[in-house]
Amino acid sequence: MFQVASHPTSFTQHGHGHHQAMAVVSPNIQLPRKLARPPLSEISRDAIMAVAPELVNVPAEYIRRGLRPKAHAMLAGISSLSSSHLPTTMPKSHVPSAMSIPTRMSSSSAQPTYPTHVLAIASSKSSANEHVFLFPVHNIVIASQCSSISRLPPSYPPAPGTLHMPVIQMTLPSPAAFKLLHGYLYNHSLESVMKSLFPLPSGFVHGLSHHTVQSTLSSGSSLHQLSSYLCSSSGGSLQALTSHAAHVKELWQDMVTLGIHDPELWDAVDLAWEVILGALSLAAHNH
């Protein structure tokens, strides 16, 4: 089993050693006031060495930046895998050490760059006889963005028409939240992340930029508008809003566990949390 360090239950807020402040929405709902960011940990040079020795002396930020223009070809490689041979889930007890997956013609105009590994992700909150979720990945995408993963096993050279990929079993707090992260590690779309968490005005999320996220975070009136929209679109239901809050928290837990230190994504999570707390507060006052 490939273990990623389990996420700590809480972090010291801003490194000052204070206990994390709680937001009391109603007598039955208490949530952290902030989703604290863990201390920054650098990407392992050993992890880069294992997958791309030629990049071992290149700063991680340059590697990540260099991957962005290649994302289209990588996603084309993922979509070219035959879904009949790569299910989205399988029983944990049936996970092989490697999988051979036929490739099909890609509908993309990009020449596909094929994935190198399959992540078989189980929930750290579930029992042993559960299912895992399978995600094809490119080793350099994981090695350059997930600092908690120290070293991936070697990949196999692609054979014509078939990929032979090592399968890495991992546990994460939320395999469902990793589906969101899996897409983001390639496309870096803040729009996709926010849309997946809860309803927001289409005019706000369409083409959402990091600058808009930051300016919204610093605007009380903008935050209130988004919270009001979310509260009304959820029918003022505390149960629905608490469920949305759980999705944001699960995404945060997976980011912490994997060691993802992407400032744009962290700011988006901060924004989502501010909006959900505001919506819960509005709904609680209306009850």
Q: Where are the domains of the chain?
A: 37-172, 173-287
pLDDT confidence band for 11 (50 / 70 / 90) = very low
pLDDT at 4 over 50: no
| Least confident piece of the model among 91-95, 223-227, 274-278 | 91-95
Distance CA 81, CA 162 (A): 9
pLDDT of residue 231: 96
The SS3 of residue 189 is coil
> What is the DSSP pairing of strand 131-137 with strand 89-91?
antiparallel
Mark 195-229 as b/e (b = at least 16 C-beta within 10 Å): bbbbebeeebbeebeeeebbebbeeeebbebbbeb
pLDDT of residue 7: 38
Nearest to 176 by CA among 137, 104, 122, 100: 122
pLDDT of residue 9: 40
pLDDT at 2 over 50: no
Nearest to 117 by CA among 141, 93, 146: 141
State pTM to two decimals. Answer: 0.88
Average pLDDT, the chain: 88
pLDDT confidence band for 15 (50 / 70 / 90) = very low
In tens, the pLDDT along 45-54 reads: 999 999 999 9
pLDDT at 14 over 60: no
Looking at residue 65, its amino acid is R
> What is the DSSP pairing of strand 117-123 with strand 162-172?
parallel
Looking at the DSSP bridge assignments, the partners of residue 89 are: 133
Per-residue pLDDT, averaged over 138-150, amounts to: 94
